[in-house]
Amino acid sequence: MIQDEGLQEIAMTIIANAGASKGASFGALEEARAGRYDEAEVLLKESDAALSEAQRSHRELLQLDALGKVPQVDILLSHCQDHFMMATLARDLVTELVRMYRLINSK
């Protein structure tokens, strides 16, 4: 079994990167709302990079679980999963909203 500290480190890495991704996504939305699409795209790329790091850690967690090395799911692991899912959803929705702002404002 993996030590609790190892699981905590993975969970905190997911939370930190998911938070950075979500923050960059909503920053991109503000930029798009203001008509600054280049800045919005830069922030979406930052969001993607942070989300990729969260996904890497999430994959590691899933692999450990598949090997039977995660003794039980605790509140921290559940919390990191929530952050990961919300960041993924935020990035996807904001990407669409930026496209919509661009389309609407181009007419």
Domain boundaries, the chain: 4-105
Q: Which residues are part of a known binding site for Mg(2+)?
A: 82
Report pLDDT for 3.
59
* pLDDT of the residue at 1: 47
The whole-number mean pLDDT for each consecutive block of 10 residues of the chain, a chain of 107 residues, reads 78 98 99 97 99 97 91 88 98 98 92
- Residue 58 known to be catalytic: no
Catalytic residue among 79, 81, 86, 102: 79
Q: Which CATH architecture has domain 4-105?
A: Up-down Bundle (1.20)
Question: How far from each other are the two terminal CA atoms of the chain, in whole angstroms?
Answer: 59
Helix ranges (H only) for 1-107 are 4-33, 37-66, 75-105
